[in-house]
Every structure is written in C-alpha cells, then in structure tokens.
A = this chain, B = another copy of it.
C-alpha cells in the first residue's frame, strides 16, 4: 500500500530514494500513532449514554458481548490492541432510550461505583426527541456533571455532541442546535474534551448519494457512521493532548 503520493514530480526520484533510506517506520493504518499517552497505565475508560452507546451490549459478565457494537467497540478494540502495554480496561454502560434524567437515576451504580479514570458521555437526542426543552437538558446535565466531579474529582471527561438529522425531527430541525450549544457550554464549564459530530455528519451525508449510508433513521449511525464517531472521538482527544 502506498505510504504517500508525490505532488512535485521534479523531486519524486530523489525523495523516493532518500525516503527509502530514511523511513524508520511508516505507520500502517492500524498503528497506534502516539495514543499510548492518552490515558494512564491501567486506566478504566467508561462509555455512557443512550442506545447509540448501548449497541446491544451484553448484560452479564460474558466478555464475548460485553461492549456492544458501535463506536465504543471500535475504540476499545483499536486502543486496547495497539496500546496493549498500557493495559487499559474499557466498560460500557449505555442504556437504550436514556435521557439525562433516566441516566441520572442509575448514575451511582453505573458510573460512580465503577470509579472510571476516563468517562465518555453521549446523551441528548432522547431529551430532544421526546420533548425535554433545551433548558431542562442543560440544567439536568449540569447537575449530573457537578455531581460527577464531586464524587470523582480526578475523572477525565469526554462529552460527545448529540446529533440528529432531518429525518428524526418531530420538532423543527433547528432545535437540536440548542441542545448542542448546551453540551458544548457544559464541556467548557467542566473542562471536558468536546467531540463535535453534527457538522461532520452533515458533510458526509451531503456527499453521499445513498440517504441512509451514515445514519439510518435520523438518530442511529450505521456501521459506516460509527466509524466517523470513532474518528471524531479520537481526533478530539489527540488534539486535546
């Protein structure tokens, strides 16, 4: 597979020879690319959220189905395999249908007691879709994050921007932007890494003839869309290092 393509043909031969001599290690598409420093040795990374995070995860301790499918599985799989010397442990406690309020009801058991070093949260599309106002969402999420920081003062927070496409709107499409603004503001308030998603999805959807290629029902990513989420998450973390 080609490591790179040449723009300036004049230099091509020289560069090719010099590079052949000088390249120590061209990372493959599956290399770690400096991810090792993302989290401390033996860190526990917990994914929280709604159905997008749930991904049909197993409800018992059988490690065969423990993580569900989706961006969280890909991230755990990639980061765990390529940085095995760090011995990171990945957990998922996403629950389908959750809003911030219903997630709050299980927060002690499903988050605080697990003592994560890193906590990634994707929540909001059910608040948006089922009629909680953006103000209620902001207030509920604010309380949840304040409580989390009180109980786990050293936790590294990652907040993923909730997203939706035109298809999912029961309300005017513009509404989701208010929930997104709230999540972005709270990420700043609590020092969380913020993972923007809506614009990325919009751009990909616009450039693809098949309407359901990235998000099939306006809310849930397809397997293609989960890769985008995974990329966005990792990009945000790498940029925040």
Chain A positions near chain B (C-beta within 8 angstroms)? 1-8, 11-12, 14-15, 18-19, 21-31, 33-34, 51, 55-56, 58, 63-70, 73-74, 76-78, 80-82, 84, 87, 90, 204, 207-210, 212-213, 216-217, 220, 222-228, 230-231, 234, 238
Q: Which of B7, B74, B81, B217 contacts A22 (CB 8 A)?
A: B7
**Given contacts A1-B33, A30-B29, A81-B224, is CB(A55)–CB(B51) below 8 Å?**
no
| Docked pose: A19 CA to B14 CA in angstroms | 10
Rounded to whole Å, the gap between the CB of A4 and the closest CB of chain B is: 5
Contact of A14 among B18, B28, B74 (CB under 8 A): B18
Which of B23, B67, B227, B234 interacts with A80 by CB under 8 Å? B227
**Bound complex: CA of A237 vs CA of B230, how far in Å?**
23
Residues of B with C-beta under 8 A to A11: 18, 21-22
Known: A81-B228, A84-B204. A7 touches B21 (CB 8 A): yes
Q: Nearest residue in B to A25 (C-beta to C-beta)?
A: B5
Which residues of the partner chain B approach A227 to less than 8 Å between Cβ atoms? Answer: 30, 77-78, 80-82
Q: Could you tell me the distance in whole angstroms from the C-beta of A42 to the nearest C-beta in chain B?
A: 10
Is the beta-carbon distance between B29 and A8 smaller than 8 angstroms? no
B80–A69 CB distance below 8 A: no
B2 touches A23 (CB 8 A): no
Q: Contact at A22–B15, with CB atoms within 8 Å?
A: yes
- Given the interface pairs A81-B224, A227-B82, the reply to whether A65 lies near B69 with Cβ below 8 Å is yes
Cβ distance A2 to chain B, nearest Cβ, rounded Å: 6
Q: Contact: B7 with A15, CB < 8 Å?
A: no
Known pairs A51-B64, A73-B74; A24 contacts B6 (CB<8 A): yes
